[in-house]
Amino acid sequence: MAAQPKIQPSLTAPHKLAYTYKRSLGPVLSRFFTALRDRQVLGVRRADGTVMVPPKEYDPETGEALSELVPVADTGVVTSWAWVHRPRARQPLAQPFAYALIQLDGAATPLLHVVDAGAESAMRTGMRVRARWAEQPAGAITDIQAFEPA
């Protein structure tokens, strides 16, 4: 290869990539998000009788179509957590918080969400939490602003 020229400093520029996605929900998720607007969490019943949250259109194990949506509680148990002591701008809370897997009462699978516990010392696997709902739920996963220690 011919001798390469000396590397010069490159020009740089800030670049923002933004997409205004509008997503169709389909019959299962439509009911899930409509229920969130009413401050209710729905799971879906799988072939084995257990309830999966969040609901999916097809069973991850058997592949069969699922349609029976079942209310679960908005309280549950933390099955794992990770303490974010320096939240990023886009993340749900400005103060340190935990991402957590939360198994809501009535569900067999945990939901990925956030716990606003105030301090890392207040977090514990197995702790009970309750949803803190937005003042005006709009039909989004963020209608649950965060879970709080219950």
Partner 1 sequence: MREIAVVGFTQSPSVRREPDRNEVEILIPVIHELRQSLGFEGKQFDFVCSGSSDYLAGQSFAFVSGLDAIGAWPPVSESHVEMDGAWALYEAWVKMQMGYADTALVYGFGKPSMGDLPITMALQLDPYVSTPLWPDAVSLAALQARLLLENGLVSEREMAERAVRDRRHAKSNPFAQLKGDFEVAKLLGEPHLVSPLRKHDCAPISDGASAIVLAAGDRARQLVERPAWIRGISHIVEPQDLGVRDLTRSRSTEIAAAQAGVWRGRVDVAELSAPFTHQEILVERALGLGSKTTVNPSGGALAGNPLMAVGLSRIGEAARRIWDGSAARAVAHATSGPCLQQNLVCVLEG
Partner 2 sequence: MSEAKEPIELIRTPIELEYTFSAGQSASRFLRGMAEGKLLGQKCPVDGRVYFPSRGSCPQHGMPFTGETVELTDRGTVVTYAIVRVPSQNILLELPYIAVQVLLDGADTVLMHVLKAKLEDVHMGMRVKATWRAKSEWTTSVGNILYFEPTGEPDAPYDSYKEHI
The site for partner 1 (CB under 8 A) is made up of: 1, 4, 7-10, 12, 15, 17, 21, 23, 25, 29, 33, 52-54, 56, 60, 79-85, 88, 90-92, 99-101, 109-114, 120, 125, 140-142
Instruction: State both tokens at 116.
Output: 């606003």
24 scored as a contact of partner 2 (CB under 8 A): yes
Kindly state the DSSP code that residue 30 receives in the 8-state scheme.
H
Would you say how long the chain is, in residues? Answer: 150
86 scored as a contact of partner 2 (CB under 8 A): no
Task: Tell me the closest approach of the beta carbon of residue 142 to partner 2, in angstroms.
Answer: 10
| Shorter beta-carbon distance to partner 2: residue 35 or 102 | 35
Query: What backbone phi and psi angles, to 5 degrees, belong to 144?
Result: -85, 105
With tokens 């105030």, the residue in question is: 118
| Shorter beta-carbon distance to partner 1: residue 67 or 142 | 142
Distance CA 76, CA 106 (A): 9
- CA distances in angstroms from 57 to 26, 45, 125, 144, 147, listed in the order given: 9, 10, 29, 22, 25
96 scored as a contact of partner 2 (CB under 8 A): no
Binding stretches for partner 2 (CB under 8 A): 1-25, 30-31, 33-34, 37, 90, 139-140
